[in-house]
Every structure is written in structure tokens, then in C-alpha cells.
Amino acid sequence: MVDLSDPAGRFERLMSALRSRVNRRQFATWFRRVGLDRWEGADLVVRVPNLFYKEWLRSSFHDLITRAAEDVAGAPTRVGYVVAPDAPGTPPPAEADLGPDEGGEGDPPEVPSPPEAHVPTPFAGSGPQDAPLRLNRTYTFSNFIVGPSNSVAHASALGVAREPGRAYNPLFIHGPVGLGKTHLLHAICLEFLERCPRDRVCFLSCEEFTNEFVHALRHNQLEGFRDRFRNVELLVIDDIHFLKGKERTQEEFFHTFNRLYQTGRQIVLSSDAAPGEIPMLEERLVSRFHWGLVTNLDHPEMETRMAIVQHKAALHGIQVPNEVVEYIATTFRNNIRELEGALVSIRARASVTQRPVCLELAREALNGSARTNAPAVTMERILDTVCGHYQVKVSDLRSKRRGRSVSEPRQVVMYVARTLTNLSLDEIGAHFGGRDHTTVLYAVRRVADRVREDPAFAAIVNRLVDRLGGAPS
Ligand code: ADP
Ligand code: MG
């Protein structure tokens, strides 16, 4: 019998409650090394082996632990974490896990295991977005359709993934939004990981790099920050144009770049503009970006667009007749993400109306005004609907204000706009005081992640989408 008057007994009970609430893998990874520091009254403090665990537990499992502890204690409980390297238990499994699979459906995504050899220092706003590697497993080279518009970028990316540090260093891929930059960057990492351990790769957006740098500065953690970025074989930074005007981050990146370059490590960067065309970027960085290979992605030609539509349709499991493929490829010329969005709308319409995909259905699905009696989905309607749900003012959402009460609805608006309209990231950002497209992209991803992980949140978002007259995502 467990003695619940004794903290150790309660803690034992808590552990078995947690064991039944997470999957086996998560338990082995995250809870076996957790110990009891103290449990006095309403305060429970658990010991964890390092800072990385602490951040993960806090960002991914805090609510779960708190609820379980309250169930055991039968009273409100505050849970805290303390790093104690002598925390009990066996080390977590060492196999690589790429973390949530953005393309997958079905099983809930697993929390990735912490890297063994190289424990990164946690940074601000830690959460799943700071997982050591978050790669979309569908963004592989084999899922990338090659045509004249992207063949050089594709070949260079492949070269770098196969011979990192030797083929071209750095590799700099630029081009307008929605043409596959991020896809190629993921593909490089995935290919590289076939042969190398995950802790030798670092993939992140420039916005994340910047935020983590600022956080490290503020909390005196520069050493940890530098260790993290200067000891990898492959550093991949998406949307490097985000560095514009950020002088200190540029300086820090300059040193990171030099260190990696001098030691023959591979650097891969993407940007919405060529190095020399990124405003307010130091000349010494511009010139370094030219040391390796600068290549661009162009708008794909009709045949490439058609091949992409066919390929994506197969990936999504949608049967699409040729005339519809042609129709989509003719309608969306500038942005591949829109081709994919079109397919999703068509599939939604086919399933709602229980009809097979044909040209007529595709026309209806892609022509907002043809939607049965529903008014067109505009940014204004999305803002009104979302703000109505969250009980916040539209003007607050458009303002620079931070804080969860405005940031969550703001991110939801961006996500819904991305789902239901053809607005580009920049156009969506323009509705929020000219926020950068990377900010919008980040918001869209965060909401997409949460929709996958949190059924209650998914229900809210789907209801909002429904109310706006679109098909649930
Ligand atoms: P960017 O980073 O340039 O804005 P992304 O890499 O996010 O663009 O690509 C947008 C979407 O288009 C992704 O779903 C990606 O898989 C798809 N895509 C882009 N280029 C191709 C291609 N050549 N073949 C297949 N899919 C592509
Ligand atoms: Mg991108």
C-alpha cells in the first residue's frame, strides 16, 4: 500500500498516474529520470537531470503533471522543477527521433527525445518549436519535383547533403515565397541524417536564431548559445533575410559563420532575396554569402506545376483527373503552396458534397464567390469572427501588443486566413501593422502544430473555419 501522507508515497503514486497518461516511449524518455525534491503542502518540486529536461517538461507536460499531482493530492498543487544532475533512473533511449511529423495523420506526435551527446541550452519561449530538429518528413528530395525553374537549386542541395562541407559552402538559395526553399532545406537535413547523428545538425529559422540570441544575451547564456551553433556539422538557417537591420545578431552570426566555415562545416541558407539585395545587411556577410554557391528558385513552368499537382494529389490520396490538374496549374502560377491549397479545397468540397472530383467541382471550390450562398472569405470577416470568439478587439489584434490574450487569436487569424484565402504571407502580415511574412509563417505553423496536438483547440479552430464557410481543415 502506498502511504499518501508521505511525500515519497505520493510521488510514487504520481509516477504511476503519469505512466498511464503518456505513452511508453514518452514515459521512458521524460519521466524515468524525474525525482522528488520536495512535496510540501501545495508545492511539489521535482528534480530533473538538466536544463533541457526542465524546459521540455515545463513546455510540454506541465499541465499534465499538475493535473496528475492534483489528482493524487486531492488539492490544488503548484509544480516546480529543479535541476539536480543526480536525478534517478536510466538514461533515455538514444535513437534519433525527428519529432512531430508535419505531414502525418493518425497517431499523436511524439515529443522528441533529447540528444545524448550534445544538450542544447534552452531558450526563451521554449516549447515544441525549440525541439532540436523539427523536420517535415514529406519534404524529401524524392517529393521535390524538378524542372528547369529549380533544377540548379535542387542539384546543389543534393550535392551539399551528400558531401557536406565540400561541394559548396555556404549554399545560399533564394527566391520568392512558396517556391520550395524550405522544402529543399528540410530535404538536405533529412538526407544528411540518413548517415549522421541528429545532434550534428542544426536547423532553424533566422527568426528563431535571432530570438534565441536575444534570450541568451538577456540571460547571460551566450556560451551555451555559441556551443550549440558552433559545434555542428551542418547548420541550416531558413529565411536569413530576417537578419536585416539586426546588427548584433548579424555580428553574432558572422562569428558563427566564420567558425563553421573555418572548420569545414556546412552552412545552408535560404532567403527571399539575393545576398546583395537584402536591405541593411552588413557587407562582410554579403560577401561571405557569395563564397560558396548562390542559386535561386524561379517560378515553375506549366509542366512543372502540373507534375507538382499530380504528385501532391497522390500524397494526399486524392484522385484528380487531368483536366483538373491543368485547371489548377493554370489558375495558380506563382506559388506552389497555393497549388496545394487548391487541392485541399477541392478535396474538402468533394467530401462535403459527396461528389467525385471533376472540373465543375474544382471551379466551384476555387472560386470563393461560387460557394453556395456563402459570402467570400475576407480578412475582415476572419478578424470579426475570430475576435468575436475570443472577445478581443480587432484593433488590439492589429496592434503591436503581445501577451497570450492577443497573440493566440492573432495567430489563429493568420492560420485561418492562410487556410481559407489565397492571400500571401506578406499580404496577411500587412493586416497586422506590416508584420513580416516570417512572423506570419511562424504563427501559421504554431497553430497547425497545436491543432494536431490539442483536440480542444482543434475543435475551436475548426468551428471558426466552419462558421466562415470554408471546409474544416
Ligand atoms: P518557400 O520556403 O520557398 O516559401 P516552401 O518550401 O514552404 O516554400 O514550399 C511551399 C510548398 O510548396 C511546400 O508544401 C512544398 O512542399 C511545395 N513545393 C515547392 N516546390 C516544390 C517542388 N518542386 N516539388 C514539390 N513540392 C514543392
Ligand atoms: Mg520558407
Residue 104 within any structural domain of the chain = no
Pairing of strands 35-40, 43-48: antiparallel
CATH number at residue 32: 3.30.300.180
Minimum CA distance residue for ligand 1 atom 14? 337
Q: Within this chain, do residues 424 and 280 fall inside the same structural domain, yes or no?
A: no
The answer on pLDDT for 119 being more than 50 is no
* pLDDT mean across residues, the chain: 83
CA-based nearest residue to 310, from 302, 300, 321: 321
Element (H, E) at 202: strand 201-205
- Residue where one domain finishes, among candidates 38, 55, 83: 83
Segment 245-255, tens digit of pLDDT: 999 999 999 99
In this prediction, residue 38 carries a pLDDT of: 92
CA dihedral angle for residue 218, residue 224, residue 228, residue 231, rounded to 10 degrees: 140
Ligand nearest to the CA of 178: 1
Share of residues in the chain with pLDDT > 90 (%): 50
d(CA 381, ligand 1 centre) in Å: 28
Q: Within this chain, do residues 136 and 172 fall inside the same structural domain, yes or no?
A: yes
Residue 172 within any structural domain of the chain = yes
In which band, very low, low, confident or very high, does the pLDDT at 464 lie, cut at 50, 70 and 90?
confident
Q: Within this chain, do residues 365 and 385 fall inside the same structural domain, yes or no?
A: no
162: CB partners within 8 A, 6+ apart: 191
Indicate which atom in ligand 1 lies nearest the CA of residue 186: 6
CATH number at residue 192: 3.40.50.300
Q: Are 145 and 304 in contact (CB under 8 A)?
A: yes
Q: Within this chain, do residues 247 and 135 fall inside the same structural domain, yes or no?
A: yes
Which of 3-12, 73-82, 127-136 bottoms out in mean pLDDT, i.e. has the lowest?
A: 127-136
In this prediction, residue 308 carries a pLDDT of: 97
Q: How far apart are CA 139 and CA 154, in angstroms?
A: 13
Q: Within this chain, do residues 168 and 270 fall inside the same structural domain, yes or no?
A: yes
Coil/strand/helix, residue 216: helix
DSSP state of 31: I
Q: Within this chain, do residues 133 and 229 fall inside the same structural domain, yes or no?
A: yes
Segment 342-375, tens digit of pLDDT: 998 898 888 888 899 999 999 998 875 233 344 5
Q: How far apart are CA 117 and CA 256, in angstroms?
A: 20
Q: CB of 341 closer than 6 A to ligand 1?
A: no
Residue 203 within any structural domain of the chain = yes
Residue 158 within any structural domain of the chain = yes
d(CA 176, ligand 2 centre) in Å: 9
In which band, very low, low, confident or very high, does the pLDDT at 469 lie, cut at 50, 70 and 90?
low
- Residue where one domain finishes, among candidates 20, 54, 83: 83
Q: Within this chain, do residues 189 and 242 fall inside the same structural domain, yes or no?
A: yes
460-463-466 Cα angle (round to 5): 155
Q: CB of 179 closer than 6 A to ligand 1?
A: yes
Residue 345 within any structural domain of the chain = yes
Q: Within this chain, do residues 363 and 395 fall inside the same structural domain, yes or no?
A: no
Which residues span the domain enclosing 270? 120-296
DSSP state of 267: E
Ligand nearest to the CA of 175: 1
Q: Are 423 and 379 in contact (CB under 8 A)?
A: yes
Biggest CA-to-CA distance, the chain: 72
Q: How far apart are the first and last CA of the chain?
A: 48
In this prediction, residue 1 carries a pLDDT of: 65
Segment 381-414, tens digit of pLDDT: 999 999 999 999 999 998 888 888 999 999 999 9
The β-bridge partners of 293 are 171
The β-bridge partners of 268 are 171, 236
Q: Report the interhelical angle of 437-453 vs 206-218 (nearest 10°).
A: 90
d(CA 363, ligand 2 centre) in Å: 28
- C-alpha separations of 16 from 53, 58, 432 in Å: 19, 19, 46
Beta strand segments in 18-140, E: 35-40, 43-48, 78-83
CATH number at residue 335: 1.10.8.60
Q: Within this chain, do residues 342 and 209 fall inside the same structural domain, yes or no?
A: no
Q: Within this chain, do residues 427 and 291 fall inside the same structural domain, yes or no?
A: no
In this prediction, residue 206 carries a pLDDT of: 96
What's the domain count of the chain? 4
Residue 1 within any structural domain of the chain = no
Minimum CA distance residue for ligand 1 atom 23? 145
Coil/strand/helix, residue 2: coil
In this prediction, residue 124 carries a pLDDT of: 25
pLDDT mean over 265-275? 97
- Residue where one domain finishes, among candidates 332, 355, 373: 373
Q: Within this chain, do residues 162 and 282 fall inside the same structural domain, yes or no?
A: yes
* Total residue length of the chain: 473
Q: What is the CA radius of gyration of the chain?
A: 24
Q: Report the interhelical angle of 206-218 vs 247-262 (nearest 10°).
A: 110
Segment 422-454, tens digit of pLDDT: 788 888 998 888 888 888 988 988 998 888 788
Segment 40-80, tens digit of pLDDT: 888 999 998 776 677 778 877 888 899 899 888 888 889 99
Residue 444 within any structural domain of the chain = yes
In this prediction, residue 132 carries a pLDDT of: 54
Q: How far apart are CA 252 and CA 402, in angstroms?
A: 26
Q: Within this chain, do residues 77 and 16 fall inside the same structural domain, yes or no?
A: yes
DSSP one-letter string for 239-266: -GGGGTT-HHHHHHHHHHHHHHHHTT-E
204-208-209 Cα angle (round to 5): 80
Residue 88 within any structural domain of the chain = no
Amino acid symbol at 184: L
Indicate which atom in ligand 1 lies nearest the CA of residue 336: 12
Q: Rounded to the nearest 5°, which phi and psi values hold at 97? A: -135, 125
In this prediction, residue 86 carries a pLDDT of: 60
d(CA 335, ligand 2 centre) in Å: 12
Q: CB of 183 closer than 6 A to ligand 1?
A: yes
DSSP state of 22: S
Minimum CA distance residue for ligand 1 atom 11? 337
The answer on pLDDT for 190 being more than 60 is yes
